Amino acid sequence: MAGEYHQELEFSEDARKRFELVVRKHILEVLEKAKEGERALDSETIIRTLRGPVHSWLPQDVVGSLLIQGAVLAKNPKDERAIQSIQSTIDRLYMQLGYQSPDDLLGLEDDQAQDATAQSSDADDESEPKRAPGADGFM
């Protein structure tokens, strides 16, 4: 009997993870459509997963907000107000679903880290002369 309860818990947690993945993909799809210039989308779509297609639905207020702010962000990727509005919409949706909001669904932290790394490596390049890689490909 205890084994059945444990299996239900594992299934439930596994199902929650898969559902969160579908929600995440749906959000990213809406943002991609906004980038392509879409002005209106249905709340429902089909999300492709490794286990097959899944019907997904997001509230229309979430879809509308993501489309509007996604279009603004497509025109100006550094627009802080659009970024904050999108993040707020995502946070609100995740809270309603009982999930912890993803740290960086938009991928902005990676871009900022790459910018900082590029700036620091530019400074390093100026101070050290470049060496040719060795036969093994390492410097």
Please count the other Cβ atoms lying within 10 Å of the Cβ belonging to residue 67: 19
Domain membership of residue 51 (yes or no) is yes
Give the structural domain span for 74.
2-108
Can you give the pLDDT at residue 29? 97
Q: Residue 113 domain-assigned? A: no
For residue 32, pLDDT beyond 60: yes
Q: Is residue 9 a part of any domain in this protein?
A: yes
Q: Which of 27-31, 87-91, 113-117 has the lowest mean pLDDT?
A: 113-117
Average pLDDT over residues 39-56: 95
Structural tokens at position 36:
């392509």
Q: Does residue 10 carry a pLDDT above 90?
A: no
Which SS3 state, helix, strand or coil, does residue 40 take?
coil
Residue 102, in any domain of the structure:
yes
State the Cα–Cα distance between residues 66 and 64, nearest whole angstrom.
5
- Number of compact structural domains in the chain: 1
pLDDT exceeds 90 at position 114: no
Q: Is the confidence at residue 108, as pLDDT, over 50?
A: yes
Residue 126 included in any domain: no
Q: What is the pTM of this model?
A: 0.70
